[in-house]
Amino acid sequence: MSTAPHTASAPPPPFDFAAAANAEMAREGFDLTPVPGSAEQLQQILAGPQPTVPGAIDLRALPWSSIDNDTSRDLDQIEWAERLEDGSIRMRIGIADVAATVAQGSPLDQFAARQTQTVYTAARNFPMLPFELSTGLTSLNPGEDRNALVAEYTVAADGTLRDGRIFAATVRNTAQLTYRQIGALLDSGLCAPGAKAGQTSAALNLTPELTGQLCLQAEAAGRIRAYRQAAGALDFRRAEATPVVADGEILSLETTLHNPAMDLIEDLMIAANETAATFLHNAGRSSIRRIVRSPERWARIADLLRPLGYALPAEPDSLALNRALAAQRAKDPDHYPDLALAVIKLMGAGEYVLVKANDPFPPAHFALAAHDYSHTTAPNRRFADLLTQRLVHATLQNAPAPYTDDELAAAAEHCNQQDKAARKVERAMSKRAQAVALQHNIGEVYPAVVTGAGPKGTFVRVLAPPVEGMLTHSAAHYDVGDRLRVRLTHTDPARAFIDFEAA
């Protein structure tokens, strides 16, 4: 009896991330169809000269630099600092002036208003504005003259801000830097007190002038951070699982840790956003603010910290929470990320709200301990920032408000809806990438923390690699913040499933 030769089954075809990303965007209601006239408008912008902004100051001679992710191409901000005679530090944050190029109500603006933000996935990005603008003409690319709105403020020795203002300028980025590169500089000790001024490392490819500039920026950011934390700003220090992608395929997961360069940019941008919000408020202009409300599940946060030796007050108190988190991070850094994640989940998401002109009690940002905070520093990828730029331009030119209060309120609500949808897309695509990367790890056991417990199921996040999935079987008695060990049982990239069971 003859037997047919055995043929090994072919491996499954690579998962089509691009197709899955397109389907996920459609599922969450994103309409990627260009607004009629968009192509013609884009060509007119690219063919014409850079718009002239009334009253713009020429600041191209300053040694501006940018710090962003290794792969970032939409550069929204550049930074420059100088020390004043009294020891305070004047900061200037140059923000790409997208409003000067993209006219309100134009086809490209209509699309941006509809989508409200750039959506990032491991497979591809879905830009709010065409790449020819967001990574080209309106990006603060090195060596290119660009329009900018500059948020200027002075940082005192105690971290307080003064002399805040915003003005239009022409700028030129002299160095495109990365978090990885500048994090290494700040970790090296070259910016520590007593280090030789201007000392640099050839391995980091930084000039003495640029090193001195970055150290000064880091000093200003450190002052701001210390002041904010003393006021109750929360510092979570989370780790993220970043897919390593080559030729559209997921090769592995890389754990991305928060580093000092990320702190530097975060603190300088928070101060710039506060400066913009205060500028509009002082001018008697309505605006859109970004807030995080006091957490509704404060009691559960207190329950998580009580066994660790921390007694939180009965009412939400960001300063008390931050002190407890900082103390626990110092005491047990290995297990701190799961505590931080649980608190983040219990805090709730940020949201956009209308603040009317001359409102004496605008809502605050609980997590940042900020009473005046807007989103202004990413106009290439967030519509709320582009809208705020138009409010700033109108204020600078003493012109009528470009939006009514009703229009601002509607825009804020639409941004909230799209923000929620974008997070769903990004989570689903991140889960798909993680599912592919983990498909050979079935059966492995990990320490984990419960991040969600509700009608849709119980979800856990393992610490290394930092990925999230559903807990199956006997999950009903777990709540957010509970710790356990879990076994990976199943992954399904097509359905964005990663399943664990209690080990």
Mean pLDDT of 64-90: 95
Domain match, 389 and 356 both: yes
pLDDT value of position 5: 44
Mean pLDDT of 35-41: 98
- pLDDT tops 60 at residue 7: no
Final residue in a domain of this structure, among 387, 412, 430: 430
User: What would the pLDDT profile of 320-364 be if each residue is shown by its tens digit?
Assistant: 998 898 899 888 876 777 788 788 888 878 899 999 998 877 777
- pLDDT tops 50 at residue 2: no
pTM to 2 decimal places: 0.86
Grade residue 112 by pLDDT with cuts at 50, 70 and 90: very high
Grade residue 190 by pLDDT with cuts at 50, 70 and 90: confident
Query: Which of 97-106, 143-152, 357-366 comes out lowest in average pLDDT?
Result: 357-366
Q: How many CB atoms lie within 10 A of CB 320?
A: 17
What range does the domain containing 476 cover?
A: 438-503
- pLDDT tops 80 at residue 200: no
**The three-state (H, E, C) secondary structure of 5-30, written as one string:** CCCCCCCCCCCCHHHHHHHHHHHCCC
Q: Is residue 286 part of a domain?
A: yes
Final residue in a domain of this structure, among 369, 397, 430: 430
465 cis-preceded (ω within 30 degrees of 0):
yes
Final residue in a domain of this structure, among 385, 412, 430: 430
For β-strands 468-472 and 497-502, DSSP reports them as parallel
Grade residue 238 by pLDDT with cuts at 50, 70 and 90: low
- pLDDT tops 80 at residue 243: no
The residues pairing with 120 across neighbouring beta strands, listed in sequence order, are 125
Domain match, 208 and 175 both: yes
Q: Is residue 171 part of a domain?
A: yes
- pLDDT tops 50 at residue 8: no
Domain match, 413 and 469 both: no
Grade residue 136 by pLDDT with cuts at 50, 70 and 90: very high
Grade residue 496 by pLDDT with cuts at 50, 70 and 90: confident
Distance (Å, whole) CA 70 – CA 260: 15
- pLDDT tops 70 at residue 12: no
Cβ within 8 Å of residue 287, ≥6 positions away: 277, 280, 281, 354, 355, 374, 388, 391, 408
pLDDT value of position 305: 94
Mean pLDDT of 9-29: 82
Mean pLDDT of 179-192: 90
CATH number, domain with residue 488: 2.40.50.140
- 319 versus 26: which is more confidently predicted? 26
Q: Is residue 304 part of a domain?
A: no
The residues pairing with 147 across neighbouring beta strands, listed in sequence order, are 170
Instruction: Name the average pLDDT for the chain.
Output: 89
